Amino acid sequence: MAQVKNGDTVKVHYTGKLVSGEQFDSSAGREPLEFTVGAGQMIKGFDAALPGMSIGDKKTISILPADGYGERSEEAIIEFPKSNVPPDMKLEPGMGLTLSNQYGQPVPVIVVEIKDDVIVLDANHFLAGQELVFDIELVEIA
């Protein structure tokens, strides 16, 4: 039976949870996730779990932050000038926004605090610093 190796395009069903058991994502009810193993399309720990699996195999893996979305970074806490926000835009702590980086790519951020002249934003990935648990089922090797 064929086994996954780096460079293979695969389809998997998955459920992602925090160590607490709280689910943050799943392919249940959707098409399986398709990606090329070892191409850097997935977080490192997820990618590394696939080689050696055969169609129909299921496994549960734990991924430490270093192989997931990284540790939380204080450098990702930014102060954004309030003067750059439209005056009619109502901001509240906890609110999600999307900024653009210097390449025009979207960067999701969370409003942490609103000060007199700046808005404090957190650009850390919402799963940064978290240990992740994934249930994975290999559906197809293309």
Per-residue pLDDT 10s for the chain (142 aa) are: 899 999 999 999 999 999 999 999 999 999 999 999 999 999 999 999 999 999 999 999 999 999 999 999 999 999 999 998 888 999 999 999 998 888 999 989 999 999 999 999 999 999 999 999 999 999 999 8
Return the amino acid letter for 125. H
**H or E segment to which residue 48 belongs:** helix 44-48
The first and second tokens of residue 84, run together, are 């750059």
Q: Please report the pLDDT score of residue 100 as a whole number.
A: 86
Six-digit token pair at 133? Answer: 């648990």
- Where does the chain show beta strands of DSSP type E? 9-18, 23-26, 33-36, 58-63, 77-81, 96-100, 106-114, 118-122, 132-141
Q: Count how many Cα atoms sit within 13 Å of the Cα of residue 21 in the half-sphere of its side chain.
A: 0
pTM: 0.83
What's the CA gap between 121 and 132, in Å, rounded?
24
**pLDDT at position 42:** 97
Return the C-alpha torsion angle 128, 12, 133, 53, nearest 10: -120
Which structural domains are found in the chain, ordered by start? 9-70+129-141 (3.10.50.40), 74-122 (2.40.10.330)
- Say how far apart CA 50 and CA 114 lie, in whole Å: 44
**pLDDT at residue 40, rounded to an integer:** 94
